[in-house]
Structure 1
Amino acid sequence: MAKNYDSLAKNIVENVGGKDNVISLVHCATRLRFKLKDKQKANKDALQALEGVITVVESAGQYQVVIGNSVADVYDTIGRVAGVKLNSDNEEISDNKTNILSTAIDVISSIFTPMLSVMCGAGILKGILMLCTTMGWLVDTSGTYKILYAASDSVFHYLPVILAYTAAKKFKANPFVAVAVAGALLYPDITTLYATHKSVTFMGIPVILISYPSTVIPIILSTYVLAKLEQFLNKRLPDVCKNFFTPTICLSVIVPLTFLVIGPVGDKLGKLLASGYTTLYNINPAIGGGIVGALWPILIIFGLHWGFVPIVTNNLAIYGRDTLFTITGPNNFAQAGAALGVFLKTKDSKLKAIAGSAATTGLFGITEPAIYGVTLKYKKPFVIACVGSGVAGAITGYVGAGCRGFVGTSILTLPAYIGKGFVGFLIACAFAYLFSAIVTYLFGFSDKMLPNKVENIVNTIETVEDSEVFSPAQGKIVKLSEVSDKAFSSGGLGKGLAIVPNEGRIYSPVDGSVEAAFPTGHAFGLKSQAGAEILIHVGFNTVELEGKYFEVKVASGQTVKKGDLLVEFDIDKIKKEGFDITTPVLVTNYDMFNEIIPVNKTKVIVGENIMNLIR
């Protein structure tokens, strides 16, 4: 029986701020990728606590909810029961500020994510055909081979057509006009002119003929220019005729412009990308492979791996094979191996179930459960997996292994790598898996790393009948239920109260340690000697200031006493920027206490008792 995801879908949408806070939603192999109007409305802690959610990652302008193998089912359920428009073309723009790198990665991921599954499927089929011909089960002159090869190669040959559609969705262009532009680049008469090296002109201007099958950058650039031209025309042409004249003008302008300018420029950029990587690779394949392999898990965490997709697709188009994603392939086995090491070592039944599942899915190319659920969570296994991935990358680079398709590495896709360096690649994958598993088991994990059980926490502070939290600021006390930010007023982030400070200083409310000191100065996490975990959040949405007007005085891991200065900030300038300076003071592990009682006051000074924590 199929699992029911209705409740999970509704809870996810509720905790990303509701359907009205969603600009768009797509998914990849393991993640729901939201673009939100206001990320501050999302409740990350509540999302991560949901059964069925592995973790939440904010990267490249996206709010990514990691689900795992069932992501497609959850995605479909969200569209059915939660009222969110899937693959939304909503033109409303988020006010969140993003840098150039985030914007670029968002564009790349939005264009390539919808087509990755068919590219991987085609790559796997190519690998199977290569295995069949190598073993003598098929000959490449048979009709069976030719039909199946056409099925596997069509995706790559007509890649500009597929990219035209996905890029048009991203850039808000007419997808059918974009596909028509791509079709012109692949038109038989044009490909014949290129193959026969005949010269051609457009209105007397010489055309640089290029082989456009399998190319990437030219059609993406053309579609971007198409979108801008469409927007220009649609604003100026009368409604009665623009549906006909806009496509006519666009085709008449963009197709020649692509052949004359955009195509040659895009082709040159693609060759520069490919040759740049190839030059680095050729300097020393083993060293280059080791560096890329070791850094790859870190790039995945921050979503930066998307930036390498155009290089891979250009490698396939120009050289017919790719070594970059081959070098990074053993990382999947390294993460699976590290998770296996934790599975074998731990005696905790819950962690054993999570690690065992993650170790299995990692072998099939899905590593998010291993990374976010196990290795990164306990740090040492993640570092060990990075080392294993780096050594395996060096081996892969040294033997010169590559792949003729866009394929994610798993035990099912290994035939796709048959060719030069195949045996070495198998050795690299096996090393990554066994090294990470064995070293993690011996040195990388113990159950001492597990968070203290509730009963252990009780035992350490059982003599404390109650605990006090003192005011970190001077100002007016506000009930938590009355603050403007729903994430705080709902109590989902913790229990406590809020203070409207009248001076720009926040002090430690307890004796303890600084668990988190955000460099932006807007929030601090502390842990008291009695075990209370305190969150102080200076204002609402002040993270958007990126540290402007804040001067942080402490660092994560630092021991503090009650009254130690945590941060100074300029209240007046923050208010002039339009931000609410109300500062919640919360106990986030409130379930460790029988009762949390805020004091009944309207004004407070630094050092006064504001909460009693009763066991």
Structure 2
Amino acid sequence: MNNQELAEKILNKVGGDSNVAELVHCATRLRFTLNDKSNVDINGLEQLDGVITTVQSGGQFQVVVGNKVAEIYRELEKFIAQDDSTQAQNKSTDAKGPLIGRLIDIISSIFTPLLGAMAASGIIKGLLAIAFANGWLDKKESSAVILQSASDSLFYFLPMLLAITAARKFKTDVFVSVTLAGALVYPDIVAFFSHHSEVSFFGLPVMMMKYTGTVLPIILAVYVMSLLDRLIKNYIHETVRNVILPFILLLIMVPLTLLTIGPVGVFASEAVASVFVKIFSFNPIIASALFAAGWQVFVIFGMHWAFTPVIINEISVLGKSTLKAATVPAVFAQAGAVLAVLLKTKNKKLKTLASGAFVSSIFGITEPAVYGITLKLKKPFICAVLASAVGGGIVGYSGSGAISLGIPSLVTLPIFYGDGFVGLLIGISVSFVLSAVLTYLVGFEDPVEEAPTSINKEVELQQAGNTAPVGAMNAITAEQILAPVSGKVIPLEKVNDNVFSSGVVGSGVAIEPLCGQIVSPVNGTVVSTFASGHAMHLLSDSGAEVLIHIGLDTIKLKGQFFKMRVSEGQRVTQGELLVECDLEEIRHAGYDTVIPVIVTNPERYQSIKHQQTERTESGAVLLSLS
């Protein structure tokens, strides 16, 4: 399947271009902001050849496709219309969801487009540092100056680049935003700061700050400008709006930023940097070990984006980032775990997957390793986390730091050159070897090679003289309970409620839902409902008593965010809508939205088995009763 075909199929599975409010990409993931997540065919997406897995985090629906992400993104851009109606949808979408999710979405949208250029500049900067330290190149030579311009220009003019991405995210004029950022790094403004000049604006004192290489001031300024833009644009006639609106925005925002927003942003940046300095200076070994151990967990949940501006801020204020250095052992630990899986597994398909994931891991792309191998096998992931902590402790003890931003890999090692570089090399070597050894010794549940289909087996039996008709060998199941909603399947014992997890109520599984439409898993009757709408009891035609409980402790909401679509005594069929709920609002109210699906009369059956899958689709078989 070529990239164009894959892009078309991905777009179709996420609900089409009308369902896409926004699309960006990072090193391995397509990051969709969707208008309606219930329109996504997750199972279909994950079955596509070229899609590694899907992740929901930070208000985004992420499709992990690996190293081909840029090519697939370009193909998707051809199909996705970015018109005014789409932008209007974006505004409504951005306003929803929990605060932390919206913040992570904002950060990822602003910084993702810059990662490639940042990594490239960082590598050049690191190689130059090596060349200068060993006397291979003189800093004053014209060749060195030209190369330094290539490595330093991005960081010097970082406010201007951030102005572009921030303007796109906050949906305001890109060119006015860049002009605003240009004012912050204007030579005379820089000179005011360098010469400690007293500056005023029509009698108001201006506290001059250094804005080159800063992050927070321009993001805050563009956000405020976007609010001002929306506030006044409708009061300006459209015939002169293209001239008058930018004039007013620049006239207000440049002085306002230099007077207030800029200094506040710089002080906040310095305060954040000082906090991390104190944390790492208190005990750098423990701090670095804990951060390294948690890094891949942060990546899984998309929380790693929250640290991107912090890391850039560290580099800008302090000259290097100890936080960034602590992430390197985590990457190489995953590579070590995958290598052990590659050497130990007997499964040919897993061995092939592991070989590709190993190569991508050592070059900094860990998603194929994490989602495709270590996380699925569980024990290798745990071994990698433990090894990361050991390597991170060594890196912290050595005082290692990054002089630029970039994905930790063999290629980007030059960005860590400087004090503690040898310690960093030792740390990542230890994490790699220890992870591989632990994974190999601890082992994992090696997937069994797929057997021929049951139909083929039956045909073989008939050809061998068995006269039973095809299908007669299939196991007879007394009843099947279908999934009432699409989502992630969670073992009942892992539900954060002792009543459900203990099995007192009955046997079953739980689902972390992707949408708020809950449908009937059986053909039968509604035995009871709750006025709060958070739960219902069904009796199937075959005698199974099924409890569907939407969320934990959600009875306290007293019906808020729930709409019951059936009543007691009503006849229902599989797939019929039972209840609608607003999952985002329920989560925002602080409640867990996991949905236990429980057979409350398990004594009626010899066995109750749930499908061995991490995700399910609404209407798919969830429980088999016999």
TM-score, normalization by structure 2? 0.78
Q: Distance in 1 between matches of 2:576 and 2:334?
A: 35
Quick check: 1:472–1:508 contact (8 Å CA) kept in 2?
no
Instruction: Measure, in 1, the Cα distance between the counterparts of 2:393 and 2:543.
Output: 48
Q: Give the structure 2 partner of residue 303 of structure 1.
A: 302
Stretches of structure 2 lacking an aligned partner (at least 5 in a row) = 458-470, 484-514, 530-535, 555-561, 563-573, 609-616
Q: Distance in 2 between matches of 1:511 and 1:321?
A: 66
Matched to 1:587, the amino acid is V
Q: Which amino acid aligns with 1:272?
A: A
For the 8 Å contact 1:494–1:588, the answer to whether it is kept is: no
Other-structure match for 1:477: none
The answer on 1:587 being equivalent to 2:597 is no
Mapping of residues 383-462 of structure 1, within 5 Å: 383-447=382-446, 453=451
Please tell me whether the aligned partners of residues 38 and 94 of structure 1 are also in contact (alpha carbons under 8 angstroms). no
> Structure 1 residue 244: deviation in Å?
1.0
**Distance across 1 between alignment mates of 2:136 and 2:231:** 57
Query: Is the 2:520–2:577 contact (alpha carbons within 8 Å) kept by the matching residues of 1?
Result: no
- 1:546 corresponds to which of 586, 600, 603: 586
Q: Secondary structure at the match of 2:50?
A: coil
Instruction: Map 1:139-178; keep pairs closer than 5 Å.
Output: 139-178=138-177
Correspondence 1:485-500 to 2 at 5 A = none
Query: What one-letter code is carried by the residue in structure 2 that aligns with 1:468?
Result: A
Instruction: Output the CA distance in 1 between the equivalents of 2:481 and 2:298.
Output: 41
Structure 1 equivalent of residue 331 of structure 2: 332
Q: Which residue of 2 aligns with 1:8?
A: 6
Please name the residue that 2:87 is paired with.
90
SS of equivalent to 2:97: coil
- Match for residue 537 of structure 2? 506
Structure 2: which amino acid aligns with 1:15?
A: K
Matches within 5 A, 1:75-154: 75-80=73-78, 82-85=79-82, 90-92=87-89, 93-94=92-93, 97-154=96-153
8 A contact 2:454–2:474 mirrored in 1: no
| 1:538-565 CA distance string (max 9 Å, x none) | 545664563899999968999945599x
What is the deviation of 1:439?
Answer: 1.0
- AA aligned to 1:467 is T
Contact 2:526 2:538 in 1 (8 A): no
Residues 166 and 337 of structure 1, relative CA distance in 2, 3 Å threshold: same
Question: Partners of 2:142 and 2:427 in 1: how far apart?
Answer: 36
Secondary structure, counterpart of 2:56 in structure 1: strand
| Structure 1 counterpart SS, 2:54 | strand
> CA 1:552–1:398 in 2, change beyond 3 Å: closer, same or farther?
closer
Query: Which residue identity is paired with 1:376?
Result: L
1:466 to 449, 452, 476: 476
Matched residue, 1:252: 251
Change (3 A) 1:557 1:498: closer
Cα pair 1:24 1:34 within 8 Å, conserved: yes
Distance of 2:339 and 2:175 partners within structure 1: 48
Does structure 2 retain, via aligned residues, the 8 Å contact 1:508–1:562? no
TM superposition shift of 1:442: 1.5
SS of the equivalent of 1:445 reads coil
- What do you get for the CA RMSD once the two structures are aligned? 3.9
Q: Deviations over 1:202-228 (max 9, x none)?
A: 111111010110011110010011111
Which amino acid is 2:237 matched to? P
Partner SS state of residue 70, structure 1 = helix
Does residue 354 of the first structure (1) align with residue 353 of the second (2)? yes
SS of residue matched to 1:407: coil
Distance 2:222 2:525 in 1: 50
Deviation at 1:133, TM superposition (A): 2.1
User: Deviations 1:232-266 (Å, cap 9, x if unpaired)?
Assistant: 22110111222111111111110100111101111
Task: Kindly provide the CA deviation profile for residues 17-43 of structure 1, in whole angstroms up to 9, marking residues without a partner as x.
Answer: 111111111111100000100001101
SS of 1:26's partner is strand
- Give, in angstroms, the shift of residue 464 of structure 1: 5.8
The structure-2 alpha-carbon separation of the partners of 1:203 and 1:78, relative to structure 1 and needing over 3 Å to count, comes to same
Cα-to-partner distance string for 1:480-530 (whole Å, 9 max, x where unaligned):
xxxxxxx999xxx99987668473233596999x9x9974699xxxxxxxx
Tell me if structure 2 keeps the 8 A contact 1:488–1:584: no
In structure 1, distance between residues paired with 2:214 and 2:184: 10
For the 8 Å contact 1:362–1:370, the answer to whether it is kept is yes
Aligned residues: 542
The answer for the alignment partner of 1:482 in structure 2 is none
Which deviates further from its counterpart, 243-252 or 280-289?
Answer: 243-252
Q: What TM-score comes out, normalization by structure 1 length?
A: 0.80
The letter of the residue matching 1:28 is: C
Shift, 1:94, TM fit: 2.8
> Kindly, what percent of the aligned residue pairs are identical?
38
Partners of 2:199 and 2:206 within 8 A in 1: yes
In the alignment, does 2:65 pair up with 1:67?
A: yes
Which residue identity does 2:16 align to in structure 1? G
Q: Cα offset for 1:77?
A: 1.7
**What secondary structure is seen at the aligned counterpart in 2 of 1:467?**
coil
